[in-house]
Chains A and B, each alone.
Chain A
Amino acid sequence: MSSPSIRRVVVTGMGAVSALGIGAEALWDGLREGHSGIRALRHKDADRLRVKIAAQVPETFDPAATIDERMLPLLDRTSEFALCSAHEAIAQSGLDFKRGTLGARTAVIVGTGVGGETTQDEQSRRLYAENAPRTHPLTIVRLMTNASASQISIAYGLRGPTFAVASACASANHAIIQAAQTIRYGMADVAITGGTEACLTYGALRAWEAMRILSDDTCRPFSANRHGLVLGEGAGIFVLELLEHAQARGAVILAELAGSGMTADATDIVSPSADGAATAMTQALADAGLATTDVDYINAHGTGTPANDVTETHAIHLAFGDQARHLVVSSTKSMHGHALGASGALELVAVIGALRDGVVPPTANLDVPDPACDLDYVANVARQLPVRAALSNSFAFGGLNAVLALKRAP
C-alpha cells in the first residue's frame, strides 16, 4: 500500500471512555500513573457468575451529559460509548462539519467485536426467560453492528464512506487502518474512526468463562504468574485527517499515522502464530518508511494469557532482530483491561500520549519475570523516554493481526 503515500494521514482529535474514566485525558493520566481500572465485577448477576473482576466503565458515565436525549432511546451501550468519544474527539479537532462540503468528504469507520450485545442479551432474556410475546421495537437499530458508525454519521452529517469493521480483538486497529486508507486513496479528507465495545452481559460473560482464559485476580501481562485476561469495555474514537488539510486550517496535530500492516495467521482459530504477527509488524514498518532502529516503543497486544505473551515476544524478536532489545514494550491492558473490539483504540491513546509526552506507560502487575518473555516491558512504573516512533499491536481470535505505525506530529 505504498503508492498513495503522498497523502499523509495525521490524528487531530481523540476521545475515549474506559475503565480509567471518561475522556482520553483521564485514560492517559491513569495509564502513565500506572492506575488500574480493574475492579470487582459490577453486574446484577454477579453472585451467579464465576468471573469476579472486570475493567468496567465507571458508574458515573452519563450518556445524557453529551448525547441529545431524543437520540438516547436509539442507542445500545456500545453506541453510547462511541458517540461520547466521537463528541470529544471532534471537539478537540476543531472541525466544523456544518460548514461547506466537509461532511461529504468525511468517512466514519468504527470497529466493534460484537456490536449491540447488551440489547441482544436483554431482548433474548425477555423472549426466552420471561416468555414475552414481543421484543422492543428498537431492538434491531440498537444491536446492528454498524449502529455506532451510523449514529456518528447522523449526529454530524458525515456523508462519506461509513461502515463497521469486525475482527474480534483487532476490530479497532482494522477500522483505523481502513479509515487511513480511505484518506490515502482520496475517498475522504477526514475520517472518524476507532473502536467500541460493551459486551459484559450475562451471556457473554458465561461464554468467556467457558473458554477458561479469564484471570481470577488481575491482568499480569508478560509476568510468569499470569493466568489469563481481564475483560474490559469502552471506546476510543479519533479524527484522522489529511496532513495538508490539517495544516491548512492550523490544526493541532497529535501524531502521524504513518503506516500499517495486516495479516492472517491461517493456522488456528485461537492459538496465535508468531509468523503472522511478525509479518504484520514488518509490513507496518515498511509502509511507514521506518527502520527497526527508528522505533522506541511497542504497545503490545499483551493480553496476559500464557499463549499470547510468549508468542508476541517471539514475534517482536522475529520482526526486530537485535533491535528488539533496544526498544521498550508495554501492555496497557494490565490497566484498562481487554476491551476487545475497542482495545486497539484505547491503546492508540496510550501510544499518542507516549509520542507527545515522552513517557511510556508501564505494564502493571509484572512481578515475576518470565524467561520466555525476555524484553523490556516497562514493569509497573512509567518511564521517561523520548519516543520517535511506535507500533501498536492487535492480534485477534481467528488469527487476524493489525499493526499501526505512529510517528510524532510532523
Chain B
Amino acid sequence: MNETTQPQVFEMIAKSAKVDVATIKPESTLKDLGIASLDAIELIFDIEEHFNINFPEQQGANFDTDTAQSLVTAVQQALDAKAANGAEDK
C-alpha cells in the first residue's frame, strides 16, 4: 500500500464533508460524515480525476455504507491495476 494514498483520500473526504481531516477515521462511513448521494458521486469523480483512475462501474453503488478506508483500498486497487496494465484512462 502506498503510504501517501490514505492521507490524500482522507483530505478529499474531509473537503467534501467540510470537516477537519483529523475527524476522519478509517471506519467512518460517508453517511456518518454527512456526505449525501450526489456529494458522494462528486467525491468519487474528484478522486478519479486526482489519481487518474477509474473505479469499476458498480463501485459506489453503496455510498451510504462505504467507509473512508474502503475508498482508500479501492483507490489503491485501481492504482495497482493501472500500474500492472499500463492502462490509459478511458
Across-interface contacts of A270 in B (CB, < 8 A): 37-38
Contact check, A211 vs B61: say whether CB atoms are below 8 A apart: no
Contact check, A227 vs B38: say whether CB atoms are below 8 A apart: no
| A269: Cβ under 8 A from any B Cβ | yes
| A214: Cβ under 8 A from any B Cβ | yes
Contact check, A212 vs B57: say whether CB atoms are below 8 A apart: yes
Near B by CB (< 8 A), chain A positions 6-35 give none
Task: Given A269-B38, A271-B37, answer yes or no on A227-B61 (Cβ-Cβ < 8 Å).
Answer: yes
Q: How far is the CA of A271 from the CA of B63 in the complex (A)?
A: 13
Contact check, A216 vs B57: say whether CB atoms are below 8 A apart: yes
Contact check, A214 vs B57: say whether CB atoms are below 8 A apart: yes
Number of interface residues of A (CB under 8 A): 16
Across-interface contacts of B36 in A (CB, < 8 A): 268, 271
Residue among B45, B57, B61 with most chain A CB within 10 A = B57
Contact check, A210 vs B61: say whether CB atoms are below 8 A apart: no
| A99: Cβ under 8 A from any B Cβ | no
**CB nearest neighbor in A for B45:** A210
Residue among B44, B45, B58 with most chain A CB within 10 A = B58
**CB nearest neighbor in B for A271:** B37
| B81: Cβ under 8 A from any A Cβ | no
Contact check, B38 vs A212: say whether CB atoms are below 8 A apart: no
Across-interface contacts of A210 in B (CB, < 8 A): 41, 45
Contact check, A212 vs B90: say whether CB atoms are below 8 A apart: no
B6-43 vs A, CB cutoff 8 Å, 1 = contact: the mask equals: 00000000000000000000000000000011100100
Interface of A, secondary structure class, is loop
Contact check, B90 vs A48: say whether CB atoms are below 8 A apart: yes
| A161: Cβ under 8 A from any B Cβ | no
**CB nearest neighbor in B for A270:** B38
Q: How far is the CA of A227 from the CA of B56 in the complex (A)?
A: 13
Across-interface contacts of A209 in B (CB, < 8 A): 57
| A326: Cβ under 8 A from any B Cβ | no
Across-interface contacts of A269 in B (CB, < 8 A): 38
Contact check, B57 vs A50: say whether CB atoms are below 8 A apart: yes
**CB nearest neighbor in A for B38:** A270
CB of A220 to closest CB in B, whole Å: 13
CB of B89 to closest CB in A, whole Å: 11
Q: How far is the CA of A50 from the CA of B60 in the complex (A)?
A: 15
**CB nearest neighbor in B for A216:** B57
CB of B51 to closest CB in A, whole Å: 16
Contact check, B57 vs A211: say whether CB atoms are below 8 A apart: no
Q: How far is the CA of A211 from the CA of B36 in the complex (A)?
A: 13
Across-interface contacts of A48 in B (CB, < 8 A): 90
Apart from A50-B90, A210-B45, list 13 A-B contacts with CB within 8 A. Answer: A50-B54, A50-B57, A209-B57, A211-B41, A212-B44, A212-B59, A216-B57, A227-B58, A227-B61, A268-B36, A268-B38, A271-B36, A306-B61
State the A residues within 8 Å of B (CB). 48, 50, 209-212, 214, 216, 227-228, 268-271, 306-307
